[in-house]
């Protein structure tokens, strides 16, 4: 049973570029949440997708957008990258909304130069 | 405002010693509380969670945590630390697993 997988593992971009990160949820899960973890900080909630719609959003600008596909996998897109976007981006999956259990993936390390 | 405070940025203990990591929260409603562990370069692994009932909850790897409503605390404990416990520990709060609010973490170092 595969857990949550994320790709790529590492990514280097320059300021102003755009990036797409991908997440495949744990088998059987239909809800995906994204978190940003800056160095030395705890994860911060970006948004959550369920039934291909954004259900909740944290305090992140519109440069951060996402998508969920019919197979429940998800993408996180960040436009006009800033140096401050450098972070570990974590994906978490769960079965349905308002659950008591979610599983995190290993993350994608994004470096913006 | 909703927040989680982990007062200890870095804790060092000897292997075999007991451990307590502190977590205080501010949340309007009755919270769901979680402790996660993160090894270097890894994602988050759930250690334990509290929703209701017995205020002392048991988790994986021999960890336990106690919910104290009067103190708005959810401290993590382990009676005897192993070298493999060295990692970053995060406390989190939320209505459920949606939109969790995390603390800034406590880095645990274990000396042999």
User: Sorting pLDDT into bands at 50, 70 and 90, what band is A76?
Assistant: very high
Whole-number average pLDDT of chain B = 94
Q: Are strands A108-112 and A87-94 parallel, antiparallel or unpaired?
A: antiparallel
Judged by CB atoms closer than 8 Å, whether chains meet at A40 and B96 is answered as no
pLDDT 10s digits, A30-72: 999 999 999 989 999 999 999 999 999 999 999 999 999 999 9
Q: What residues in A contact B42, CB-CB < 8 Å?
A: 106-107
Q: Is A7 part of the contact surface with chain B (CB cutoff 8 Å)?
A: no
pLDDT score for A1? 64
Mean pLDDT in residue range B58-70:
96
CB contact under 8 A, B90 and A33: no
**Cβ contact, residue pair B97, A102, below 8 Å:** yes
Whole-number pLDDT of residue B95 = 84
Task: Please determine, for residue B61, whether its predicted confidence score (pLDDT) is greater than 90.
Answer: yes
Confidence class for position A96, pLDDT limits 50, 70, 90: confident
| Phi-psi domain of A63 (left: phi exceeds 0; alpha: psi -120 through 50; beta: other) | alpha
Quick one: average pLDDT of A12-23?
98
**A60 and B CB contact within 8 Å:** no
* Displacement of CA A52 from its chain's centroid (Å): 14
Would you call A90 and B44 a contact, using CB atoms and an 8 Å cutoff? yes
> pLDDT value at position B97?
77
- The pLDDT of residue A29 is 95
Please tell me which of the candidates B41, B45, B102 has its beta carbon nearest to residue A42: B102
Are residues B56 and B63 in contact, defined by beta-carbon separation less than 8 angstroms? no
Q: B11: pLDDT confidence band, cut at 50, 70 and 90?
A: very high
B80 pLDDT higher than 80: yes
What mean pLDDT is predicted for residues A68-81? 98
Q: What average pLDDT does range B19-33 have in this prediction?
A: 92
pLDDT at A2 over 90: no
SS3 A83: helix
Q: Which of B42, B90, B98 is opposite residue A42, by nearest beta carbon? A: B90
- Residue A86 structure tokens: 């450098």
Q: According to the model, what pLDDT value does residue B28 have?
A: 81
Strand (E) positions, chain A?
5-7, 10-13, 19-24, 31-37, 44-50, 53-57, 64-68, 74-78, 87-94, 103-104, 108-112
Question: What tokens appear for A58 in the block?
Answer: 């944290």
State the pLDDT at residue A99. Answer: 83
Q: Does A70 touch chain B (CB under 8 A)?
A: no
Whether residues B90 and A56 touch (CB distance < 8 A) is answered with: no
In 10 A of CB B71, how many CB atoms?
10
DSSP chain B: --EEE---SEEEEETT--EEE--EEE-SSPPEEEEEEE-TT---EEEEEE-SS-SEEE-GGG-EEEEEGGGTEEEEEESS--GGG-EEEEEEEESSSTT-EE---EEEEEE-
């Amino acid at each position: 049973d595969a857990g949550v997988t994320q790709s790529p593992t590492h990514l280097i971009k320059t300021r102003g570029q755009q990036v797409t990160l991908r997440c495949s949820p744990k088998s059987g899960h239909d809800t995906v949440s994204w978190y940003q973890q800056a160095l030395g900080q705890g994860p911060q909630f970006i948004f959550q997708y369920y039934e291909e719609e954004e259900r909740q959003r944290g305090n992140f600008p519109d440069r951060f957008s996402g998508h969920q596909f019919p197979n429940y996998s998800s993408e996180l897109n960040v436009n006009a990258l800033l140096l401050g976007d450098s972070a570990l981006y974590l994906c978490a999956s769960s079965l349905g909304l308002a659950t008591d259990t979610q599983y995190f993936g290993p993350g994608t390390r994004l470096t913006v130069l | 405002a909703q927040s989680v405070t982990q007062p200890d940025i870095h804790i060092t203990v000897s292997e075999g010693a007991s451990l307590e990591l502190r977590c205080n929260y501010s949340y309007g409603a009755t919270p769901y509380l979680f402790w996660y562990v993160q090894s270097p370069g890894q994602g988050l692994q759930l250690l334990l969670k509290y929703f209701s009932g017995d205020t002392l909850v048991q988790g994986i790897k021999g960890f336990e945590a106690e919910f104290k409503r009067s103190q708005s605390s959810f401290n993590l404990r382990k009676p005897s630390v192993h070298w493999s416990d060295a990692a970053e520990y995060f406390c989190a709060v939320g209505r459920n697993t949606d939109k969790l609010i995390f603390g800034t973490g406590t880095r645990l170092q274990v000396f042999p």
